[in-house]
Amino acid sequence: MISHSSTPRSLLLAGAFLSAFTLTAAAQQPAAPAAAGASPAAAPALPPGSPLIGRPAGNEAAAKLAPNAPPPIPAAPDKLPTAKLKVPAGFNIEVYAAGMANARSLAMGDKGTVFVGSRLVDKVYAIVNKDGKREVKVLASGLYRPNGIAFKDGTLYITELSKVSKIDKVEDVLDSPPKPTVIYDKLPKDEAHGWKFIGIGPDGKLYVPVGQPGNNVLHDDDHGQIRRMNLDGSGAEVIARGVRNTVGFDWHPATKQLYFTDNGRDWMSEDVPEDELNRIAKGGEHFGAPFCLQGNIVDPEFGWGKSCSDFTAPVGLLGPHSAALGMRFYTGSMFPKTYKNVAIIARHGSWNRTKKVGGDVVVVKLNKDGTMKSMEPLITGFLEDNKYIGRPVDVLPMKDGSLLVSDDWNGAVYRVTYGKQKVADKQ
150 binds other proteins (CB under 8 A): no
Dist CA 210 CA 224 (whole Å): 6
Q: According to the binding rule CB under 8 A, does residue 424 interact with other proteins?
A: no
Q: Does 49 bind other proteins (CB under 8 A)?
A: yes
Radius of gyration of the chain (CA): 23
Asked if 67 is part of the footprint of other proteins (rule: CB under 8 A), the reply reads yes
Q: Does 33 bind other proteins (CB under 8 A)?
A: yes
Sign, CA dihedral 191-349-75-107, equals negative
Q: Which of 25, 182, 254, 281 binds other proteins (CB under 8 A)?
A: 25
10 Å Cβ neighbour count for 94?
Answer: 12
Residue 11 CB, shortest distance to other proteins, in Å, is: 7
**Contact with other proteins (CB under 8 A) among 31, 61, 83, 423:** 31
**Residue of the chain from 146, 214, 288, 320 that contacts other proteins (CB under 8 A):** 214
Instruction: Give the residue with the Cβ less far from other proteins, 286 or 351.
Output: 351
| Of the candidate residues 79, 144, 182, 185, the single one contacting other proteins (CB under 8 A) | 144
Closest CA to 79 of 59, 67, 95, 68: 95
Choosing from 103, 127, 183, 192, the residue that interacts with other proteins (CB under 8 A) is 192
Among 116, 121, 124, 364, binds other proteins (CB under 8 A): 121
Work out whether 26 is an interface residue with other proteins (CB under 8 A). yes
Report if residue 52 touches other proteins, rule: CB under 8 A: yes
Q: Please identify, among the stretches 187-195, 222-230, 315-323, 395-403, the one whose residues bind other proteins according to the rule CB under 8 A.
A: 187-195
Q: What minimum distance in Å lies between the beta carbon of 41 and other proteins?
A: 6
Residues that bind other proteins (CB under 8 A): 1-2, 4, 7, 10-21, 24-31, 33-35, 38, 40-44, 47-53, 55, 63, 66-69, 71-73, 119-122, 144, 189-192, 194, 214
